[in-house]
Every structure is written in C-alpha cells, then in structure tokens.
Amino acid sequence: MTQFKSQDPSLSQQRKADHIRLALDQQNDIKVNPFDQIRFVHHSLANIRLEEIDLSTSWANSYHPFPFYINGMTGGHTQSKEYNYRLAVVARETGLAMGVGSVSAALSDPTVKETYTIIREANPQGFILANLGAHHGLENAQKAVDLLQANALQIHLNLPQEVVMPEGDRDFRSWAKNIEEIVNGLSVPVIIKEVGFGMSQETIQKLIHLGVHTIDISGRGGTNFVHIENDRRDTLDFSDLGSWGQTTPESLLEASHHLHEVEILASGGIRHSLDIVKSLALGARSAGIAGKFLHSVAHEGIDPTIQLVNQWKTAIQHMMLLLNCKSIHDLQATDIVLTHSLLDWAKSRQIDFQTLANRSKKELDNSND
C-alpha cells in the first residue's frame, strides 16, 4: 500500500508555508461564530466557593489539569520550527497538552524532522500528540509516535480539504481499515480528529464501531482548509464549499447521543474561555485551540500567550462559580438554550433541545428522591 503522496519535498514544504500564512490571515477574518447561539440559563443562587472548583479532566487514558489544550497546526517548514518551539514553551509553562501538524512530511523528508522534534526538546515532560492522516497505516503511525515520543496520536480526517487541495488524495477507501488497524495496534491512545468540517452522529457511530475511544469533532468556525487550499489553486474554483460541514456546536449536538460510549473533544472556532465552557457543557472532555494560539505566539510572543492561557484558566473557574459547578462533569447538568440556526439544526436532526434547557430540574428532582 502506498503510504506517501508522490510529491517533491520542496513543494510539500511550500504547501506547509502556505498553510501557516493563510491560517494566520484567517484569524483576522473570523467574525460570526455559532457559539453565540448557545445561552446559559442564569440561576440566582450558588452553593460553592471558588476554591472548591476543580478544572481537571481526563481523556486519552490520561489526567489533564485543565480542560483545554493546544491543538495541532504546523510543522514541515523552517518557519514552523520556530512557531512549534514557541507553542511548546507555552505548553510547558502552563501545563497544557499540545498537538502538532501532520507528521507525514517528516516521514517522507528527514530534513524537516526537527520542525517537529523541537516540541519534545522544548517540553520533555509534556503531553504531546503526534498527528497523521487516515491514509497512513500502523507502521507509519508508530513512526510518528516514536519521532515525537508522543503520548497519543491524532488521526485527522480531512476529506473536503483533500478534494480541494490541488495535490490531494482522490481515493479514501483505506481510511476505515487503517483507523481500525491503528486503534488496535498502536502503543499509545488514538484520537480521531476532524480538521474543521465537523462530525455527524453517523460518523461518530462508525468510529465507535471501529474501536475508537476518543474523538475530536473539530467543527467549522475556525481555520478553514477549504479556503486555504482553494487560495492555492490556479484553476477550478471551490469557494462555494467554504461553508461545508457542521459547526462545532452542531457537531457537539450530533455527539450528544454517544457521550456514554466515547470521549468527545471540541475544537474549531473557539475564541475565548466562554466558548470552552459552552463546549464542556455540551459534553466535551476538553477543548482544542490552534489558530488563536498560533496567531498569539506569532504576533504577540511567548510571554503574552502564557499570560492569555493563565487568564483563561482563571476565567473558566469564575464562570463555573457563576454556574454553580464544582467540576467539568457538573457543567453537563447546566441549562442551555439554543437559538437561531443552531436550534433549527437540533430540530431537523431530532436532537432533544428541550431537555438541554431543563437539565438542572432533572438534577434537582434526583437529589430530592
């Protein structure tokens, strides 16, 4: 089976450089966000102290002290080495887990390995996630893990990106088989991750059937790889696909039926601490942020990004106090009202939005029994 796309290494490096440039440009264009269509019901009494609130969570067989992490974005180009170093220092100093962009470039071109390995060098004790596309098999998955001494592997699903990418794959028949093989054979936990097009109930159910235990639903709303790849094209305009896929809130609603079967992570368009809290309240174990942190280390630097992360930790804790929640698990009993197109989505997909809006009543009834 062919494991690598046939590409000139210099062209692959240029593609990685294009991804960084275009992803950074997009951070200035993101204005409308579906997280604004989620509202918490405010209740006027609380029965906890700030010091009681625990921000810890668990996923991929590991304890994590905070419910957000630096998601995979870059690697494979000289410029990305510096960005990965800065992000790794931020992760080291704040205790966040960190992902990396697809390691496939390093497997086919050894000259770019250090753009990835710099992460483990800068953060020797941190929780690091390697990353590969689903067209790779178990052998390459293990190589990616070994390269980074990674604690887990993200397998990314990016069908729309591949379709729009001029040099992208055009045959996806091996993906499910590869996922099952890697999940069952790899030495570390596996996370299946979308790249910004969201997931459906049906996709999640199929992944569970393949043995997957952790899924990042990564919805539309953040870095848009259709726009990125379309900007790299000379012919055949795919700009009409710019709104393809489910948003992150829509994808979290899609996942709501499966929270007892699989760990859900949320990423895509998360702007600030309130979006993280909303993701957790909709069932996510943690939230991944890529473009926001990449933009911060690129334009503000390491220390301001560390400050931003620590501010988010404090803000999440205060929001949990406002919601009378001692733990991440407690957030899943808060009352959430959906509005506008998000409500329309829930109705169309037969997702019980009324139960979401009245969860605290159920908790109160159970405590009175």
Nearest-CA neighbor of 197 among 159, 228, 233, 155?
159
Any binding-site annotation on 15? Answer: yes
Residue 218 annotated as binding site: yes
What φ, ψ does residue 40 adopt, rounded to 5°? -85, 140
Task: Flag whether 161 is marked binding.
Answer: yes
Output the six-digit token pair for 146.
């070994």
Annotated binding residue 73:
yes
Question: Does 324 count as an annotated binding residue?
Answer: no
CA distance 369 to 355: 19
d(CA 4, CA 209): 27
Residue 102 annotated as lining a ligand binding site? yes
Is 131 marked within a binding site? yes
- Judge whether 156 and 102 are in contact, CB under 8 Å: yes
290 is in an annotated binding site: yes
Q: Is 211 annotated as a binding residue?
A: no
Number of CB atoms found within 10 A of residue 341's CB:
13
H or E element in which residue 179 lies: helix 175-185
Residue 193 known to bind ligand: yes
Q: Are strands 128-133 and 152-157 parallel, antiparallel or unpaired?
A: parallel
Nearest to 161 by CA among 194, 129, 208: 194
Strands 336-338 and 38-40, sheet pairing = antiparallel
Backbone angles phi, psi at 91, to 5 degrees: -60, -45
Q: Is 72 annotated as a binding residue?
A: yes
362 annotated as ligand-binding: no
Tell me the C-alpha to C-alpha distance, in Å, between residue 333 and each of 68, 273, 366: 20, 19, 12
Residue list, annotated binding site for FMN: 72-74, 102, 131, 193, 218, 223, 269-271, 290-291
Residue list, annotated binding site for substrate: 15-16, 161
Residue list, annotated binding site: 15-16, 72-74, 102, 131, 161-162, 193, 218, 223, 269-271, 290-291
Residue list, annotated binding site for Mg(2+): 162
